[in-house]
Amino acid sequence: MLAAEGLSLVRGGAQVLDRLSTALEPGKVMAICGPNGAGKSSLLMALAGLLETSAGAVTLDSEPLGAMHPRIRAQYIGYLPQEAEVAWDVAVENLVRLGRMPHRDRGEQAVESAIAALDLEGLRHRPVSQLSGGEKARALLARVLAGEPRWILADEPFAALDLAHQQALLRHLGQAARAGAGVVLVVHDLATAMNHADRVLVLREGKLLADGPPPDALSSGNIKSAWGVSMRWIGDQGARALVGDQA
């Protein structure tokens, strides 16, 4: 269980997180949604143990993240920021191998599985500086997957990917959850959250507005409350789309 209790954060005089509490379960794909400035990325960073909050605490299986050695914490939690930088212009396969650093082993099988999962075989020897934005995003996510973390936390992992690679990544993350990992994603596309998440958290102004199955959390009422627009869902579950509510 990855749990947040009473998280608050004030930055630049603004309340980024406001006494937010939640308990996340492994074995599920969970989406964090909300309008710009709702606190989504800050919550994800706090859950990864990478953001010091003004109040509250995050625990992993009842142990405070702050009390864990960073290397041990990195074995359990793999985090991908929205805009990740690469310090060295290494080949893709070496970048992916860096995901094994917390384990202090080469973990070649895990590295190869991550390369295959993100369709990087044809790019494995290419320097990172020669990758497109989408290719770089896939390589960075492969680095996270190579660490075989129990929790995968990713901020907008689909943003730079084309449709085919988005769908492939969704399948892989679903497989990881079914194998027992906890998958927590910041997602702007509400249809992706509705159709592919097991659970959705909706944030508004640093508070948890809704938390539950996608049809409940992303109801028309909650969308109106969080985003200020009138929308409705059409289609069957698993293939639903948002349209403007003209009523």
The per-residue pLDDT for 247 is: 53
Alpha helices in the chain (DSSP H): 40-47, 70-76, 92-97, 108-117, 133-146, 163-178, 190-196, 214-217, 220-227
What's the angle, vertex CA 200, arms to CA 181 and CA 224, rounded to 5?
165
Residue 246 has what pLDDT?
66
- Report pLDDT for 159: 84
Provide the residue type at 237 as one letter. Q
Q: Which two tokens stand for residue 83?
A: 């805009």
Give CA–CA dist 35/227, Å, rounded: 6
Q: Which helix (H) or strand (E) holds 57?
A: strand 55-60
- Confirm if 156 and 187 have CB atoms less than 8 A apart: yes
Where b means 16+ CB within 10 Å and e means fewer, 168-189 reads: bbbebbbebbeeebbbbbbbeb
pLDDT of residue 216: 95
Tens-digit pLDDT string for the chain (247 aa)? 999 999 999 888 888 999 999 999 999 999 999 999 899 999 999 999 998 888 999 999 989 988 889 889 999 999 988 877 777 889 999 999 999 999 888 789 999 999 998 889 999 999 999 998 888 888 998 999 999 999 999 999 888 788 888 888 888 888 889 999 999 999 999 999 999 999 999 999 999 999 999 999 999 999 999 999 999 999 988 889 899 876 5
Residue ranges per domain, the chain?
2-82+151-244
Q: What are phi and psi of 199, to 5 degrees?
A: -150, 145
Give the per-residue pLDDT at 239.
Answer: 86
pLDDT of residue 149: 93
Give the pairing of strands 55-60 and 2-11: antiparallel
Please state which of the four CATH numbers 3.40.50.970, 1.20.140.10, 3.40.630.10, 3.40.50.300 is assigned to the domain occupying 2-82+151-244.
3.40.50.300
Write a three-state SS string for 202-236.
EEECCEEEEEECHHHHCCHHHHHHHHCCCEEEECC
pLDDT of amino acid 88: 80
CA distance linking residue 99 with residue 9, whole number of Å: 29
Spell out the residues 6+ positions from residue 24 whose beta carbon is closer than 8 angstroms to its own.
Answer: 1, 2, 3, 30, 47, 182, 184
pLDDT at 20: 94
- Whole-prediction pTM value? 0.90
